[in-house]
Structure 1
Amino acid sequence: MNLAPDRSLTDFPRGFHEVDALRSEFVRRLFVAECAEGNPSANAAGIPKVLVRFWDDAAAVPPDVQACLDSWNPLREDGFEVLTFDDASAAAHIRETCGPRHLEAFARCHHPAMRSDLFRLCYLLSSGGFYVDADDAMTEGDWPLLYGNDRLKLQPLSFDIPSQSMVEVAGFWRFDRPRPDRLYYVNNNPLVAPAGHPVLRRALERATDALLGATGPVEIQATTGPGNLTVALVEHAHERALAGLPPDYEMIRDWDRVGWTRWELSYREDGRNWRNIGAGRE
């Protein structure tokens, strides 16, 4: 397909969401289209003021991770409920709110990062709220940026292939032409959503099907992580564009005013970090 500098979200072939280059180009166009549209106000009453995190073993949270978790406690003063789930409490929540298929998929997740990925989809789909990873710390805590309307909020990402490095988010809004040297996708952290959002439902079912149908090891990023969520978003956004419906999702542009990811944490040096799987640091 010719990837002309066209902002249309409708001129993509059937099944394009499974083709990396086409999916990336679609996501880039989403970024550009949203920049042009802006983010109109809407009712945010459908998104609960609940902050949700996950760490697999509640009895063995590293001190530096605990410091990240504790940094969000001031949100309680703004009326937030602040929750941290572990393997046992996450499984209980999935059992109560989703069902046996999803519980079995959770049990098949071979790494805590995968269980965290699947759990956040289950929790937000069933209950709604604000999910952050346990290694994110609060900065200014400017949470109203994420609660201005009831759309699903996602963090945009871009990877520059030649330099093998991430692109600064601030530059995304100037990308009004195709960039085959870059990959565009969305992160699954942070996530802010009302209960029942169709992108979360699609992502959860896609991940569950993959886990239950797997006959061997699966790749985390594509199966339960950002890759999976990006496919779900692209399918959903394309369908809405074809139907002439407005977006029910938007990109988070100023996450650093709310929180940030701490990369120097001790657990990143061992197998608790999913990036180290197969790297000899398990």
Structure 2
Amino acid sequence: MLKLDAYPQGFEEDDRLRSAFTRNLTLHFSDRPAPPSVDGAIRSAGVPKTLIRYWHDPHDVPDDVRACLASWDRLHNEGFEFRTFNDASATAYIAERYGAQQLKAFARCRHPAMRSDYLRLCFVLAEGGFYVDADDVLLGDGWRTIFLNGTLKLQPLCYDIFSSGMVPAAEIWRHDLPTEGRIFYVNNDPIAAPAGHPVLRRALGRATEKLLGNDPRPEIQATTGPGNLTAALVAHARDLAFAGAPFDFELLHDWDAIAETRWDLTYRGDARNWRNMDALGI
């Protein structure tokens, strides 16, 4: 299904080609049968039961964000280890596990959201685990399917330029979905992966290079966020397809049934929301 000659090496840096390739990946996974239900113990094959979150200031966590974080507490009873990072602990972690380049790149992240983006790549690459944003709320027990095997698991998204809104998750998998004026990509929330996954290694390397470049105000989405992760994913997928190797990742069909993002949080109206940082001169 993938016409590889249409995607030359380095194509992931072209917005149009990156989106088109991501669309092809959604079609590849659209007919994948749903994983079997899982009862009892998790049959994990490489993704550690480590839940990773980030909030930049541990002394100033809004009550509504605390409620989101607390929704995951029942995973303690499922044998999960919780790792919640802030700006200081993330700096210490990167200094311990990585080198001077990564530490310098992290210091150049100009917003807490960028630092969260960078830390999640560093941690999941080094140790594996399950990253979720601090504004995600756990719903039912669908999270168990994420641990059925050791593949990288990411959430596909589609933005409609004409309506300035997201295409509903259930619509993304339609083979007859119009593509004009739409941007297909993967989110960097959630990320579930074993340690050392090549997509995360590529994404961390790309983010580091961009942060250490000459742009004094790098754009968050393309530098550390979903655009960066999407570029790493499609480049990796192309390499696997050329080699005739199976994909070592999956696109999640049902993340919205596993967790939901709370949009009515107080911090979204101020500088703590990355969407406001350019307008506020951050």
Aligned partner of 2:92 in structure 1 is: 92
Per the alignment, in what secondary structure is the counterpart of residue 44 of structure 2? coil
Aligned partner of 1:30 in structure 2 is: 25
* Residue ranges of structure 2 left out of the alignment (5+ in a row): 37-42
The answer as to whether partners of 2:146 and 2:192 remain within 8 angstroms in 1 is yes
Per the alignment, in what secondary structure is the counterpart of residue 188 of structure 2? strand
User: How far apart are residue 278 of structure 1 and its match?
Assistant: 2.8
Per the alignment, in what secondary structure is the counterpart of residue 47 of structure 1? coil
The answer as to whether partners of 2:22 and 2:184 remain within 8 angstroms in 1 is yes
Aligned partner of 2:250 in structure 1 is: 250
Aligned partner of 1:61 in structure 2 is: 61
Aligned partner of 1:20 in structure 2 is: 15
Check 1:99–1:280 CA distance in 2 against 1; reply closer, same or farther (3 A cut). closer
Q: How many residues are aligned here?
A: 275
The correspondence of residues 74-89 of structure 1 with structure 2, limited to 5 A, is 74-89=74-89
Query: What is the rounded CA distance, in whole Å, between the counterparts of 1:266 and 1:185 in structure 2?
Result: 27
Identity rate of aligned residues, in percent?
55
The answer as to whether partners of 2:152 and 2:192 remain within 8 angstroms in 1 is yes
Scaled by the length of structure 1, the TM-score of the pair is: 0.93
Aligned partner of 1:193 in structure 2 is: 193
The correspondence of residues 2-151 of structure 1 with structure 2, limited to 5 A, is 7-11=1-5, 12-38=7-33, 44-151=44-151
Per the alignment, in what secondary structure is the counterpart of residue 155 of structure 2? strand
Check 1:280–1:28 CA distance in 2 against 1; reply closer, same or farther (3 A cut). same
The answer as to whether partners of 1:111 and 1:274 remain within 8 angstroms in 2 is yes
Write the letter of the residue equivalent to 1:209. E
Deviation larger for 176-185 or 120-129? 176-185
Query: What is the rounded CA distance, in whole Å, between the counterparts of 2:31 and 2:116 in structure 1?
Result: 34
Query: What is the rounded CA distance, in whole Å, between the counterparts of 1:180 and 1:133 in structure 2?
Result: 30
Query: What is the rounded CA distance, in whole Å, between the counterparts of 1:124 and 1:205 in structure 2?
Result: 14
Query: What is the rounded CA distance, in whole Å, between the counterparts of 1:280 and 1:208 in structure 2?
Result: 25
Per the alignment, in what secondary structure is the counterpart of residue 153 of structure 1? strand
Aligned partner of 2:40 in structure 1 is: none
The answer as to whether partners of 1:270 and 1:281 remain within 8 angstroms in 2 is no
User: How far apart are residue 150 of structure 1 and its match?
Assistant: 0.7
Per the alignment, in what secondary structure is the counterpart of residue 213 of structure 1? coil
Aligned partner of 1:260 in structure 2 is: 260
Scaled by the length of structure 2, the TM-score of the pair is: 0.93
Query: What is the rounded CA distance, in whole Å, between the counterparts of 2:29 and 2:243 in structure 1?
Result: 17
Aligned partner of 2:220 in structure 1 is: 220
The answer as to whether partners of 1:9 and 1:26 remain within 8 angstroms in 2 is no
Query: What is the rounded CA distance, in whole Å, between the counterparts of 1:27 and 1:95 in structure 2?
Result: 34
Per the alignment, in what secondary structure is the counterpart of residue 272 of structure 2? coil
Give the RMSD, CA atoms, in angstroms: 1.7
User: How far apart are residue 61 of structure 1 and its match?
Assistant: 0.6
Query: What is the rounded CA distance, in whole Å, between the counterparts of 1:96 and 1:280 in structure 2?
Result: 33
